[in-house]
Structure formats: C-alpha cells, structure tokens
Amino acid sequence: MTIAPFRLLAALLLAPTLAVAASPITITAAWARATPPGVTTAAAYLSVTNDGATDRLLGAVSPAARQVLLHSEVEEHGMQHMRQLESVEVPAHGTVEFAPGQMHLMLVDIAVPLAPDTTIEVTLRFEKAGELTIDVPVRDGRVPPENHHH
Amino acid sequence: MRRWLIVIAATTAALIGGVVGRQYWQTEPVPKIGGYVLPSPRALPPVALVDEQGRAFGPADFAGHWSFLYFGYTYCPDVCPLTLVELANLKKALAEQLPDTPTDYYLVSVDPARDTPERLREYVTYFDAGFHGLTGSLDDLKSLTQQTGSVFFIPEGQPDDAYLVSHSSNIALVDPAGHLAAVFTSPHAPKQLAADFAHIVAYRTRR
C-alpha cells in the first residue's frame, strides 16, 4: 500500500512519454513456439484483453523475424488453410485469443532459431491504443503447458 | 435323376450357405471412429517417393506394419508442429496399449520444392527419433493424397520463398498389407486416435 503514491507519481510523470501505461489493452498468456532444426518460421500466441472501446490490431513486428503476419487457421471441408488477416478487431471489454490451431502471429524468416526459455520482443500495433511492446517467452512446443515450469 | 437331385440340392445348399455366411460375415459394421473406416481396404497408387534418408520409397514399403500418414510441410508454423506433437503422443500411448502392434509415423511433405529429405529428417526426428518423412513429385503427391482422402494445393500469387500450402488435416491409416484402412479427421486428440486405432485393429483381426 505504501508504494501506491509512488506509483501514482510515476504514472503521472511517465504518462506523456509512455502511452502504454494508460492503454486499455492487456496482453496475457503470450508464448512463441521454439523452432525445430532448420525451420525459419514460428507461431506466437497470446490473449488480447481490451478494457476500453473497440480497437483493432493492425499488425506486429519483431526484431526476431523479418516479418510478422496475422494469420487465422481456417478449416473448410477437412482442408486446412492459413489465411492472412489485414487486422483483427478487439471488441470493447472483450478478449481475443491467438491460440494453437486458431489465430496466431506467424513469424517469417527467423534469423536466429528460437530456443526454449528465451524471450523475443514483439511490438503490436493497435489502431487506437498505439504500439505495445511485449516480451514473449519461447516454449518447447513438444512439452505440454501443464508440465512446463513457467 | 437322383444324382441330378443330389447335385442340385448340394448346389442350393452351397449357395444358401454362401449367402448366409456372407451376410453373417458382413453383419459386423465397421467401427465408428473420429473419421471413417473403409469397408474394404484400398490399394495405394504406384507412387515413387523418397524418404527422409533419401531412399526410394514405394507403397510396398508400407507393408509389415500399420502406418499413420500426415500431409503437411515444414514451413508451416502452427497446425503441422501441433499435429506432429499429437502423433508423438499417440506413438507413446500405443507403445503402452498395443506393444505388439508395430506402427510407423510419416510426415508426407506436400512442399517438395523446399522439403528435401535432409530437411525432413531434421524436422521429423525433432518430434520423435523414430518418425519418418516422405515426399515426391507434385504429381505423385496428388495421386497419393487423392487415394488417401486428402488434398492439397499451393495458392497462387505468393512470394517464391515464403509461400504457404493449403492441405488436408486428415491422418490416413495404412494397414500392414500396404492398403488404406481408415482416415482420421481433425481435431486429432492422441487418446481418441489410440482408442480408434485399437478398434480398427480388433475389427480387422476378427475379419
């Protein structure tokens, strides 16, 4: 409790420079799949919660990859298609999930293989909330999440 | 005359016996699984593939064990690694549940331009040291996918080095005679696949 005034002070001081501090967008459950040998693509997953008005995720970038694409995994008549999305709506007071076999961020042309227990930086760009940079933990996709120490 | 009657009676009995026997034989319906079981296993087309060691591989090489075939490619970031993890878990489950029924697992790459045997070897063995990779010409891959209830295509208008392939999410099951026995449709859960496979093996053993 005693740190609350300091937090408030810090928030006031930093507010003009860090739009993120006031952002209604929260990112949770972020992780990226470690790359198997020889593979230069990977999927990253996360959950976007919006405590404000309707917003849109317009795109993402990462120093770990040449390009980050918004993809949805669509299944039609037993056919698996990856569809590139221009943007993803994040409804007011809603949550959008990027999860395995569904929507994901596709990292293209990864220069350095993604090793488990490291993190990569990903910057998400929202229409209203602006840019939001997060550290995404890299996880060994072969290990079930419940057995993982994170 | 009497001899003729005996012949006719015997023939009729044989016919009735045959028909009844055949009906009896057919009364057991194919097991219900997450997908479908073929009432009569189907031969695979005579495709010339290459395996993860760079060796020539044909349908006859499936003989002697049950084979699970998944059609995908290594550039695929999401659903392919996901399915290979599920197949690795299926392999572990079957090693416990049906230790005397040999099984093999194949990623059949529908992206032969990028998935060389070496690339496939590195990739599949990451998921399980015993996994295999196969690929071949687009024509052979088309003919194999068609005969195993799958399909794939490379949508046009994509960059040469960063294209995606649309592909079936089915897993084909080839029997120890090298014939297509069943097709599992997604979603694939290792527990369900293992239970379905046990039903298929039991059904085929009784027939």
> So what's the ipTM on this one?
0.80
User: CB neighbours of B9 closer than 8 A, spacing ≥ 6?
Assistant: none
pLDDT at B15: 44
Contact A39 B75 (CB under 8 A): yes
Contact B82 A141 (CB under 8 A): yes
Chain A residues whose beta carbon lies within 8 Å of the beta carbon of residue B169: 75, 78-80
DSSP 8-state class, residue A51? S
DSSP 8-state class, residue A86? S
With a cut of 60, say whether residue A65 has pLDDT above it.
yes
Chain B residues whose beta carbon lies within 8 Å of the beta carbon of residue A79: 151, 166-169
Chain B residues whose beta carbon lies within 8 Å of the beta carbon of residue A36: 74, 81, 122-123, 126-127
DSSP lists the bridge partners of residue A33 as A139
The per-residue pLDDT of chain A, averaged, comes to: 86
pLDDT at B2: 53
**B147 — contact with chain A (CB < 8 Å)?**
no
* Rounded Cα distance, A59 and A67, in Å: 10
Chain A residues whose beta carbon lies within 8 Å of the beta carbon of residue B82: 100-101, 141
**B window 62-81, beta carbon within 8 A of A:** 74-79, 81
Chain A residues whose beta carbon lies within 8 Å of the beta carbon of residue B156: none
What phi and psi, each to the nearest 5 degrees, are found at residue A55?
-135, 175
DSSP 8-state class, residue A76? E
**A42 — contact with chain B (CB < 8 Å)?**
yes
Nearest to B169 among A37, A67, A78 (CB): A78
What count of Cα atoms within 13 Å lies in the side-chain half-sphere of residue B163? 18
Task: From first to last of the 207 residues of chain B, give the pLDDT tens digit.
Answer: 455 555 455 544 544 444 444 445 556 788 999 999 999 999 999 999 999 999 999 999 999 999 999 999 999 999 999 999 999 999 999 999 999 999 999 999 999 999 999 999 999 999 999 999 999 999 999 999 999 988 898 888 888 888 999 898 899 999 999 999 999 998 899 999 999 999 999 999 887
Contact B78 A109 (CB under 8 A): no
3-state secondary structure of B18: helix
Q: Judge contact between B111 and B136, C-beta under 8 A.
A: no
Q: Least CA distance to B72: which residue of chain A?
A: A80
User: CB neighbours of A13 closer than 8 A, spacing ≥ 6?
Assistant: none
Nearest to B81 among A36, A106, A109 (CB): A36
The model carries a pTM of: 0.83
User: CB neighbours of B82 closer than 8 A, spacing ≥ 6?
Assistant: A100, A101, A141
Strand order in the sheet with B103-109: B35-43, B179-184, B171-174, B66-72, B103-109, B132-135, B49-51, B56-57
